Structure 1
Amino acid sequence: MRTNIVIVGSGPSGLLLGQLLGGIGVETVILERSSREHVLGRVRAGVLEQGTVELLEEAGAAARLHAEGLPHAGISLAFGGGLHRLDLTALTGGKHVTVYGQTEVTHDLMDKREAAGLTTVYEASNVALHGFGGETPYVTYDKDGVSHRIDCDFIAGCDGYHGVSRKSAPERALKTFERTYPFGWLGVLAEVPPADHELVYANHERGFALCSMRSAHRSRYYVQVPADERLEAWSDDRFWDELRRRLPEQTAAAVVTGPSFEKSIAPLRSFVAEPLRFGRLFLVGDAAHIVPPTGAKGLNLAASDVRYLFAALREFYLDKSLGGLDAYSAKALARVWKAVRFSWWMTTMLHRFPDTGEFGQRIQEAELDYLVHSQAASTALAENYVGLPY
């Protein structure tokens, strides 16, 4: 079998890249090691930058997003017992973010791909990448006990942190940067209305908390917990009690409790692999970088990579130019590192570290106070939150 591009991974980045390429007549095959149901069962973030929304529009996959997504013009920072709203739209000249779950984005892109009759192979095992250092790359995999080979022009590694793509890169050519944080986020999903119409980020002496949502009737809440915390130690009642302790009085009073239908603890880390290109293999999204969710950048960074890689591949197939492909890694990484910096800054400003101490706590309080009372500081946060220019 032959195709133009093999995309490894059917998460939102792989599906989005495939949909965009299909729109200009470039053939793709997506290989996914899990089942379709497993992919759709992943619970992930849901704050989309305006640029991500525009890219989904370009892919023709934004109709349900516009019908059901929640545009947010601001966020609130809670500290010192008070609530301070930052008007993102006013600070950035009209930009905003949209709350729409990553699972829904994935579902929309899957539906578009299936409707277009494009090929996705689910439950593909033993995926291996070959020959990408030369002119004739190919990918092998097993399906239902039968081995298959796909010859192609390029390979796009969109298969996440644990996927085969980054692991296939030559070890001597790959450099990684990592910071592991000494805490995680305990998160719950519940069919209850959100405590606020916008996201609330809380800095409290007991630890960070976040009030978020997936819809007007489904809420997503988080509290900071130690990295070695056990999920079994947290009943729903304990979670709701702890969440309310960390919120300002008026926000805590607005929290509607109910049984959770999903509960998990996510570790926090920053990770970047360089470069993003190895011959005819390109890394995209979580295959190359991970950021703490504090800055709402994970899915948006994957979409950013897709935007750059799609433009480069379009230039190759329509204009017969390698210029965009040669520039992909440097261009994508420049934006990645700015988002890594922003996510690190938000994380250090809002969480309590084991060694924070009284001095560190006062520094956090001073920084937060300066942030909400300085238009320049507020603007810097806002322009990063809504998404830096491409």
Structure 2
Amino acid sequence: MSKIKKLFKIFVLSSIIFMSYNSYSQKKIASELLEYGVILNKPKGFKLIDNDKLNYLQHFFTSLDKRKHNLLPTYYLQNRDSSVMILIESFNYLVTKPGIFYSVPVDDNKISFNHLRNHRDTISVTKIYGASELKKTNADWIAEFTRYFGTDNTFGQYKYNKSFIFNKNDQIFLEVTVLFTESSKMKMEKVAKSTKNLFQFKQKPQVPTKSIENNLEKYSTKLDQSLLQNSLQKKGNRGKMYQFQYYFWGEDFAIKKDDVIISVKYTLNNKWPYFNNFEPKKIDTTSRPEQWAIANNVFRDILVLAKKKVEKCAIEDVNKLNADEAYLFDFTHDQGDNYRGEYKDCKVLLMHKRNIGSVLVKYYYKPKDSVKADMVIKDTWGKIAFKDQSYFDSLNGVIYPY
């Protein structure tokens, strides 16, 4: 496409946006977003338009690996002199249904993280906001990054971008691309600062919350009844993802004991071999040995987050967890990213059962309670564990890893 054609397309887009703006469109968009608990804080001086008014206008670009991509916004925002254009893509939460071929259980909330990992320009800095910066939005996490659009694209006069992902677990995530012309380049930081508060999220999950019992059964684990009665209703899913270790972030359930919060997360793994899921049958772990070996080592990636040294647990302690391996290490959250707004430090237990899966247990404590955390770990050791070997034996190999 010639430069003249590109500029003409952007000029036409600008004209259409301002001619299409009306109060009915605004109410319709607000209603659509509110269905998923989203309130849009429209920036002052910007017009908002639903892309259906533009016949679903999309943009094209070429990635670093020379593949062609399209960007199809759900909504547009544009300022009066057309020097800044904001493209909003919304992705509703959908439950992935199992197909004929079995893979590991899918974390549907991870799709937003995959967008971040695949769309960010790795040369530029990616910022994931701390928990304290999310209070105004009530998002679970927000990332700010730069997308690579190359020179072969249909953005015309828009040469620069700041991009964001806003995620609300079990509800929706939105990917926002803010485009700038040469004349608005100096506004990038100011606009980016206001864009991080573009949305507010209300609690409106699209699926029922999974019970602790459901998680225990699904992931072949057990929890002592004495701990179950101290479970917390609200999950601590908010804040940074350190070194892009997605499964260190958030939790599946949490328990409070002696002012120490025990946070449990199942670390799903997409490296396991695929299996025919048409009818349950014994899994052959001797086939594709290299793939099994790779999958059984993925959990170790989390160990890079250790504050100091990693302690490999003694075999007699590992046996109490019904695991094959277990590790302990310390971790500290960054300033402004405290867990549940008050816990900065935690002791981490990572346990793995070969050909089954891994469980991450974080013991959060306040600065004066380090010794108390050690006592809680000692008192609860084996009370959060994989099921007994007799359970796995009874399945006769008909069990899929996660």
**Fold conserved (TM > 0.5)?**
no
Structure with greater helix share of residues: 1
Q: Under TM normalisation by the shorter chain, which class is it? A: under 0.3
TM-score normalised per structure 1: 0.26
Larger Rg: 2
Which TM-score applies when normalising by structure 2?
Answer: 0.26
